[in-house]
Amino acid sequence: MTDIHDNPLDAPNADPFEIAARAAADIARLTGVENHDIALTLGSGWGKAAELIGETIATIPATEVTGFSKPALAGHVGTLRSIRTPGGKNVLVIGARTHYYENHGVRRVVHSVRTAAATGAKIMVLTNGAGGARESWKPGQPVLISDHINLTADSPLEGATFIDLTDLYSTRLRDVARTIDPSLDEGVYTQFRGPHYETPAEVQMAKKMGGDIVGMSTALEAIAAREAGMEILGFSLITNLAAGIQKTPLSHTEVIEAGQAAEPVISALLARVVEAL
């Protein structure tokens, strides 16, 4: 029902939580699954995880769900899936991320997270493809997100909503992930606005501020997930070393190719982590 130019979230008097509740009701009706336990946003490189997590109960186009935007990029699958794990947990897999750089406002960026919370999910797993600012990291390597620096100068919180962001990327859940793969490294995710990649000077700035990973998503979503009371686990696939860290210019094709090569490995890892949550 929603069209990119006609979204209820854009109405001046819209209540984003009421719209998320409507979206959750759409998901329950269209999937036949009343409640979900875990939600998982699949970023670039992570798409194959869905098949490995469990049995797909239903796949629905995001455009059938209240408030969802059409995907901006071909290859960003605009579907929502309900998957039952072997252990009996219901996982909502969100393959329809709206990026901040699409300029539809932060409400649309975090609508999937608010919807996930409204379906009952207590854990939000956020994954992305990103650049690595540490020389020791290799393209194709997954890393845990330990914290973030939000350089968008924006927030999903509306009004005087003061939310603590300590331990935003749950230490407990990172420990669970490391029981599956003890070699997982971790780092601070820095969200830039994009869609351009950083200059080498901006990457150096991010590093001096304490950033290790550079990307264009996740931080705003994590803030909304915390507001909604969910526990958060974040993963970045380092698809490329950030500008100036690697010696050659960044190409979108290379980024996609590195993601495709790593996809089976990191998807299997993610499926095992989800089962352990």
Residues that bind ligand 8IG (CB under 6 A): 44, 129-131, 192, 194, 197-198, 214-216, 239-240, 242, 250, 255
Gyration radius of the chain's alpha carbons: 17
In 3D space, the residue among 92, 3, 2 whose CA is nearest the CA of residue 54 turns out to be 92
Q: Which is nearer to ligand 8IG, 54 or 129 (CB)?
A: 129
CA 140/CA 208 separation, integer angstroms: 24
Structure tokens belonging to residue 142: 């997954």
Identity at 121, one-letter amino acid code = A
Catalytic amino acids?
198
Q: Which is nearer to ligand 8IG, 61 or 194 (CB)?
A: 194
Q: Residue 194 CB, nearest distance to ligand 8IG (Å)?
A: 6
Q: Residue 42 CB, nearest distance to ligand 8IG (Å)?
A: 13
Q: Which is nearer to ligand 8IG, 92 or 238 (CB)?
A: 238
Identity at 271, one-letter amino acid code = A
Structure tokens belonging to residue 216: 């264009």
Distances in Å between the alpha carbon of 160 and those of 113, 150, 192?
20, 18, 24
Is 234:41 a contact under the CB 8 Å cutoff? no
Q: Residue 193 CB, nearest distance to ligand 8IG (Å)?
A: 9
Place of tokens 């620096």: 149
CA 154/CA 115 separation, integer angstroms: 20
Place of tokens 């990973």: 213
Q: Which is nearer to ligand 8IG, 169 or 197 (CB)?
A: 197
Q: Residue 208 CB, nearest distance to ligand 8IG (Å)?
A: 16
Is 197:220 a contact under the CB 8 Å cutoff? no
CA 24/CA 56 separation, integer angstroms: 18
> How many residues belong to the chain?
277
Q: Residue 197 CB, nearest distance to ligand 8IG (Å)?
A: 5
Q: Which is nearer to ligand 8IG, 129 or 187 (CB)?
A: 129
